[in-house]
Structure formats: C-alpha cells, structure tokens
Homo-oligomer: A and B are copies of this chain.
Amino acid sequence: MMLWFAAMQDRFANANDPRAVRSREALHRAMRKLLESRQPEQITIRDIAAESEVGYTTYFRHYPTKEALFEAVVAELIASLFERTLPMVDAQDISSAAKALFAYVRENPRLWITLLTGGAASTLREQLLRGARAVAGTRSQPDAWMPPDVGVVLIVGGLIELLAWWLQQKNPLPIDRVTDIFVRVVVAPAIAARDAPPAAAELPKRKPVRRKA
C-alpha cells in the first residue's frame, strides 16, 4: 500500500511499469519513423501520438516537451553509434571505426539526413561532441599551438558535414572512398596539428581571378 503520497503519482509514469515501457518504446519508434520524413520542428506532438497510437495526454506523462523526446531518441542513436565504433577507436584503428560508422548511418539514410541537416543537426552535433570529448579525454593544454579541444571540434564537425554530403548524393561514393577522405582530409590534419605545429604549408597558388566590382 504505497498510497502515502498519491498526489505526485499522477504527474509522471513509473519508468518500470510494463505499460509505461510499451508507451515509451512506441513514442521512440514513432519519433524515429517521423524523422525519416521531416525535421523535428515540422512534427507535432499530435503527430507523434497518432503514429505511436499513444494518447495525446499520455505523451506528457513521459516527456514534458517535444524536444525532450527528440533528444532522448538522438541520445539512443548516438549511444548505439558509439557501441559500434568505440572498440576500434580504442584500438587506434580510426579507419575501421570510420567505416563502421559510415556503414551504420547508411542503414537508414533518410533518418540520418534529417539528423545531420537543418535544425536537428545542432542537437546531434552537441551530443556527438559530448561523446567525442569524453573519448578524447580533453586534457587542457592551453599552451599548445592548437588547443586540443579544437581538434575534437573540427573532427566532429567535419564528420557531420561529410556524412550529410555523402548521404545526399544520388550515386554515393563507396564506403572505403568516403572513409579515406574523412581520415586523410579531416582526421589526420587535426591530429597532426594537435601533436605538433605544422610547417607553414604554402597553399598552391593559381592565377588570380578577375571579378566584376
């Protein structure tokens, strides 16, 4: 008989109740499904309720806002992304990690295009960055030529840009090719610059462009 403080019991659902678990899973599934067709700001809570076949009022017993559910879904996706790549990152095999990552997002291109572009990208970026920082273990070296955190920021940013570009191609490059681009053009320069100031590499000069004023 746990009726002692029944007042607050009505506000949020118990996370372990099988009914609540079902509702939650249905909400997550619905959000992922809807994200395949549009950006989160174009999705209403009523859409989610309808798609999940969960009552509109029930939604608020699980998440206070639309953003809360969206962030939870993104967190799950990021977690499973790290699950698949962390072992290889820890083994210093960046190339394999990148390949696994590109293969993973290609399993649901429409979902990931939504997450990687538009307003959703800032949430994804934030969570990816948090995870990447934890992995990199940003030790502060403010005296380094390039602050180490910048490396993480540039790698995560470059990854997002490259993924979004790649998924949107009509004839996407093979995974090995795009992985090569990522490792050589994004990761390697950032790592190299973190470890030691690069020589003053000259940019290739071409003939100046004449442009109308």
Contact = CB atoms under 8 A, between A and B. Distances in A.
A184 interface: yes
Nearest to A198: B184
A142 to B, nearest CB: 8
Given A122-B119, A150-B181, A211-B90, A188 B161 contact: no
Interface string A169-198: 000010000000101111111111101001
Interface stretch (A1-9, A16-24, A55-63, A152-160): A152-160
A129 B170 CA distance: 19
Interface in A188-213: 188-193, 195, 198, 200-201, 203-206, 208-211
Interface residues of A, number: 50
Among A184, A192, A210, the one with the most B-chain Cβ atoms within 10 Å of its Cβ is A184
A204 B191 contact: yes
A77 interface: no
A150 B165 contact: yes
Interface of A: 41, 86, 89-92, 94, 117-119, 121-122, 146-147, 149-150, 153-154, 156-158, 160-162, 165, 173, 181, 183-193, 195, 198, 200-201, 203-206, 208-211
Q: Considering the complex of A and B, which 10 residue pairs feature the smallest CB-CB distances, nearest first?
A: A157-B161, A119-B119, A189-B189, A90-B209, A185-B193, A188-B201, A185-B189, A184-B198, A118-B122, A153-B165
Given A90-B211, A92-B208, A121-B122, 8 more contacts: A90-B209, A92-B205, A150-B165, A154-B185, A157-B157, A157-B161, A185-B189, A195-B204
